[in-house]
Structure 1
Amino acid sequence: MKRAKIKTLKQTAKNGLFSLVFENEDYSEFEKFILKFRDEADAVKDLNIILSYIEQMINGAGFLERYFRPEGKMKDNVCALPVVSGKLRLYCLRLSDSVLIAGGGGRKNTKTYDEDTNLNGYVISLQKLESLIQVEVKKGNIVIESGMIEGADDKIFEL
């Protein structure tokens, strides 16, 4: 099992963008995704599309369901960007219209994410995180509202 914390990446008056940071790592999963693909000529166009979507959502109406590609299982809120076709996928956890946890991602070379061990790993981590967050919400330890994940700052999640 890996241990991770939730890191706030960007906060506006209405929306919040977060990511996972695994223990003993300097960068969040989202930051590693950007660093990995920002200098690759055949991936930079897709990366810029994803970053543009996120920027528009955080500064606009929020992380509405229609802006994401459904991924994961029917019972979870794991989704991916971009909605349009492309070579890259960024896997995310939509906790509400105002709260998004950006996970990791990579090149999509298979029909489904679960055919690729790396992509499957990103999705499974987000599914486990969502399950743990739901437990904490039910206990009253975490509150998700208005672009915030209150109570998660000092929590370590065992994924």
Structure 2
Amino acid sequence: MKRCFEIKAYISFEKTQFYTIEEVGKGINETDEFFIRFKDNPDYQKDIATIKYWIQKIGKESGALERHFRPEKSAEAIPITISKLRLYCYRLSDKIVILGNGGIKSSQKVQDSPDAFPHFEVMNTLAFAIQMKLESGQIEITSNHISGDLTFFTK
């Protein structure tokens, strides 16, 4: 069964505009779902605080420099530091990041982490779709804004 997602504005800072993705018809974006899922669990409070710190630092101070992200196939993850959690994202430029969902990284390989792997797959599908749409002119980037056909499908 195919799932349809839309890219939507999430939070804007001086240096970086963050977008998120939302499954059509779901009513909550993937990034908020991630934070809600872990916010009351004491085992992950430090990890959530670290992820929020990096989003703020990237947005307000440095911009979305490549060194702030953990490579995850075609996508990326926050934080770059040691953490039990991964928030998957796609860095389009120093001024644009698309945040997704994430999960608990319970093994060395994300493929062996059942909580994190589905979110990893969605963000890598998004990265591929965006590259195809940029090449075909269906998506346009100007400074910290992305426009055009902002939908994509996953399995």
- Pair in the same fold by TM > 0.5: yes
- The question of 1:141 aligning with 2:138 is answered yes
Provide the rounded CA distance (Å) in 1 between the counterparts of 2:70 and 2:77: 5
Aligned residue in 2 for 1:97: 94
Q: How does 1:62-81 map to 2 (within 5 A)?
A: 62-72=63-73, 76=74, 78-81=75-78
Instruction: For 1:1-159, list aligned pairs within 5 A.
Output: 1-72=2-73, 76=74, 78-152=75-149, 155-159=150-154
1:71 Cα deviation (Å)? 1.4
Q: What is the one-letter code of the residue matched to 1:31? A: D
* Runs of 4 or more above 3 Å deviation: none
The alignment's C-alpha RMSD in Å is 1.4
Deviation at 1:13, TM superposition (A): 4.5
User: What amino acid maps onto 2:106 in structure 1?
Assistant: N
Q: Give the TM-score normalised by the residue count of structure 2.
A: 0.91
Q: What whole-Å deviation, never above 9, does each CA across 1:71-118 have from its counterpart, x for those lacking one?
A: 12xxx2x11111111111111111111111111111111111111233
SS in 2 for 1:118: coil
Task: Structure 2: state its 5+ residue gaps.
Answer: none
* Aligned residues of 2:33 and 2:101 also touching (Cα < 8 A): yes
Structure 1 unmatched ranges of 5 or more: none
- Of structures 1 and 2, the one scoring higher in RCO (CA 8 A, sep 6+) is 1
TM-score, with structure 1 as normaliser: 0.89
